[in-house]
Amino acid sequence: MTMNIEALLSPAEYQARRARGFVGEVCVVFDVLRATSVIVTGLANGAGGFVPAEEISEAVTLRAKYPGALPAGEREGLKITAAQSGGVEFDFGNSPREYTKSRVSEKIIISTTTNGTRALRACETADAVAVGSFLNLTATVMWLQSRGASRVVLVCAGTGESAALEDILCAGAFCDLLARSKQTCVVEDSAAAAWSVFREAGNDLLGAMRHAQNGRRLLENPELRDDVEFCLRRDVFEIVGLMGRDGMIRRV
């Protein structure tokens, strides 16, 4: 089956599309630094599920619906403080290295981040929503093909209100893998643009991160610097994360 691939490269684009809805489409959401890399790592390490929340207050309120769930996330890249959450201590920040087997096994994690969880929620009307990252790129491409998806939207979460180079690179790598797998595709201009960015800069992803707003911010923070390399590794996990109709992301 021919697959039509489009990319939404910035928050303005996916927020506008949210209003129209994504019915009949499959979304793959990329927030490489770091929300979707965190979710994929957590699920691979045995987390029971992730519930994406758009606001800190929503994450706090959702704890009543999921007793025992652990609140997580960041603002300005840093773990949410009790002062920001009205007194609730968050269990995790947004570093994938925090989401170890011993800390996440069978836990439900309610996560709110600046862009990643907002992008995931923007897609909730889609037929299916997958969590994309370099860490599980091939597994996600294979899942998409086995599903026989005909209309695919690659959603780049961005940084603040701007496009993020790392998300566009990952969407481009996704197109590249699909093309190499001999998938028959109609690649729309937006996805073709991401693909050319990947062809240009994909050989040195870490170097490219020095030109990326969120990449630079993380590289300049000694405690978070290692997250960048962690998130740029390819195909470390053979899992796919899918957001269910109940809003929870689970491993398949």
Residues near ligand MLT, by CB under 6 A? 31, 33-35, 74, 77, 94, 113-116, 214
Q: To which H or E segment does residue 113 belong?
A: none
User: Least distance to ligand MLT from the beta carbon of 252, Å?
Assistant: 22
Residue 70: CB partners within 8 Å, gap ≥ 6?
Answer: 91, 92, 107, 108, 109, 110
- Report the residue number, 62 or 149, with the smaller CB distance to ligand MLT: 62
User: Least distance to ligand MLT from the beta carbon of 76, Å?
Assistant: 8
Give the C-alpha separation, 119 to 54, whole Å: 9
The answer to whether 25 touches 144, Cβ cutoff 8 Å, is no
Which residue minimizes CB distance to ligand MLT?
113
- Report the residue number, 104 or 149, with the smaller CB distance to ligand MLT: 104
Give the C-alpha separation, 173 to 105, whole Å: 30
- Report the residue number, 75 or 147, with the smaller CB distance to ligand MLT: 75
Please give the sequence-ordered ranges of beta strands (E in DSSP) within 3-91, or none if there are none: 3-8, 26-30, 49-53, 70-75, 78-79
User: Least distance to ligand MLT from the beta carbon of 192, Å?
Assistant: 25
User: Least distance to ligand MLT from the beta carbon of 34, Å?
Assistant: 4
- Report the residue number, 34 or 107, with the smaller CB distance to ligand MLT: 34
- Report the residue number, 76 or 189, with the smaller CB distance to ligand MLT: 76
Q: What count of Cα atoms within 13 Å lies in the side-chain half-sphere of residue 114? A: 18
User: Least distance to ligand MLT from the beta carbon of 233, Å?
Assistant: 16
Q: What residue type is assigned to position 241 of the chain? A: G
